[in-house]
Structure 1
Amino acid sequence: MTGADATAQTDWQSWQSSWDRQQEWYLPDREERFGAMLDAVEALVGPEPRVLDLACGTGSISDRLLKRFPKATSTGVDLDPALLTIARGHFAGDSRVEFVRADLRDERWTDALPHRAYDAVLTATALHWMRSDELRRLYGQIAGVVRDGGVFANADHMPDGTTPRINEAVNAYHRARRERERAEGVQDWADWWKTAAADPVLAGPTAERFRIFGDPAEGDHADGETQSAAWHAETLRAAGFAEARTVWASPADAMVLALK
């Protein structure tokens, strides 16, 4: 079987679903978060948005976007060759979706975008691997590609250091939950990547991914910094957004929405 034949016969929906399950192991309220994100999009820019799915991974946001808003369009941007391979396979033949490979740390990454302005830029569980100075610069670039009246939403790890006892109790609760589910066979981050590396179609892109980000079994994204939701809102306003605030939160995560 040729490489093209193997790619054509790959069950991309299965890979997409396995990614979702692995992410939900860490974030059991992930779907609620996506729902709140799309509610904000509809409220502020309507049901037919042109969306930039930033650090898109396998296209989880785009998948939910197009199911809810059939007339929406999406541009997915990511650097990870393995996750982009899954995304392109999953959305093959869907003219509403296009993907661009770019490094968000590159000051010229916006040059690769097919459109100059977007109604909404959306991202989830992705930007925490950037350092604060990199994220501050990125927010300025995002402000430059969101149209006036458009929105940016970032749902990610945004710890609140003012509630240490609450944080510890919730973290302990979720550690126990993950341990129970792990014993039942749920894949974690490192296991998922080990499975991808063993797949004939994904082995090459995964090996390239490991060269870029490191082996997940050894820990990657080690240079990232997490900041509070208040820091994100303040930084977005300084970057050129007229308004920014938290619109959703769990004990571990939050979503900040900014209006241009």
Structure 2
Amino acid sequence: MTAYIDNAGAWQASWDRQQEEYLPDREQRFAAMLDAVATVTDGRPPRLLDLAGGTGTISLRTLARWPDATATVLDQDPVLLTIARSTLRDRATVIAADLNDPAWTTSLPRGDYDAVLTATALHWLPEQRLTTLFEEILGVLRPGGVFINADQMPDDAIPELSKRLLAREDARREARQSAGTALSWQGWWDRVRETEAFRTQIAERDLIYPPGRTTHTEWLPPASWHVEALRAAGFTEAGTLWRGGVDAAVVGVR
């Protein structure tokens, strides 16, 4: 039975505000990603895969722009997927799958996608798995379709300046959180744990991500690594679509 929560809109907004503390130009990168999608579909409603899509943030913005778009959200986190299902309802397909398992593609609806979009998610995958994932993503795109990945991807031509930019933003964010004007990642999850509506999903999540045990390592290579990996995976074009400080969105065209 599909689980929904009644106040999903509030949780969706809460997630957005928490994410914006770490990504102040979050909406700008989403707009750039969707502009690229519009270009490859000539403005028609796209068939979109929101990869590692969490609460369905990208799908919601896609459907706001193209109400007739076909969207699929794929993620592993039971809490975030419950928020996605509750806010999207019948406007999108929401799927639970693990990107560490190459069989994730078998859970998708039939047919190729115009675009596969993902943001601030794939940095949890190790290098070898990520390079293989790029090949798998290529396989679910139609010819001419795009894969866009937005994440922290420093410009390796300015390593020292990038470190200073990161330190400056970390200090500003920590000051806001210390003053109580912003919610941290951990603070958001603490509130989820205190909420009875998520009791079942938290139990499921703890089996996937055992509390107190590190099951993966954050890996943040520069944009140049991503571009070369996309080319090696078989994308006909690859490059940087958008940049904001140490963050970037790289695109591959099938």
TM range, smaller chain: over 0.9
Distance (Å, rounded) in 1 between the aligned partners of 2:215 and 2:52: 14
Q: Does 1:223 align with 2:217?
A: yes
Q: Any residues of structure 2 matched to 1:30-179 within 5 Å, and which? A: 30-47=26-43, 48-92=45-89, 94=90, 96-179=91-174
Instruction: Report the TM-score, using the length of structure 2 for normalisation.
Output: 0.93
Cα deviation 1:100-122 (Å, max 9, x = unaligned): 11101111110010123101000
Distance (Å, rounded) in 1 between the aligned partners of 2:4 and 2:249: 37
Asked if the contact 1:197–1:207 (Cα under 8 Å) also holds between the matched residues in 2, the reply is no
1:188 aligned to 163, 184, 194, which one? 184
Distance (Å, rounded) in 1 between the aligned partners of 2:137 and 2:169: 33
Asked if the contact 2:85–2:94 (Cα under 8 Å) also holds between the matched residues in 1, the reply is yes
SS in 1 for 2:102: coil
In the alignment, structure 2 segments of 5+ residues that lack a partner are none
Identity fraction in percent: 47
Distance (Å, rounded) in 1 between the aligned partners of 2:156 and 2:238: 20
Asked if the contact 2:47–2:115 (Cα under 8 Å) also holds between the matched residues in 1, the reply is yes
Equivalences, count: 252
Asked if the contact 1:159–1:253 (Cα under 8 Å) also holds between the matched residues in 2, the reply is yes
**Deviation of the 1:221 alpha carbon:** 6.1
Asked if the contact 2:5–2:197 (Cα under 8 Å) also holds between the matched residues in 1, the reply is no
Asked if the contact 1:128–1:225 (Cα under 8 Å) also holds between the matched residues in 2, the reply is yes
Distance (Å, rounded) in 2 between the aligned partners of 1:8 and 1:242: 41
**Deviation of the 1:225 alpha carbon:** 1.7
Q: Which residue number corresponds to residue 193 of structure 2?
A: 197
* CA RMSD of superposed structures (Å): 1.8
2:24 aligned to 16, 25, 28, which one? 28
In structure 2, do the counterparts of structure 1 residues 199 and 137 end up closer, same or farther at CA, with 3 Å as the change threshold? same
Asked if the contact 2:150–2:248 (Cα under 8 Å) also holds between the matched residues in 1, the reply is yes
Cα deviation 1:75-106 (Å, max 9, x = unaligned): 110111110011001112x3x30111110111
In the alignment, structure 1 segments of 5+ residues that lack a partner are none
Q: Point out the more displaced range, 199-208 or 236-245.
A: 199-208
The residue type paired with residue 24 of structure 1 is E
**Deviation of the 1:219 alpha carbon:** 7.9
**Deviation of the 1:209 alpha carbon:** 1.5
Q: Does 1:234 align with 2:234?
A: no
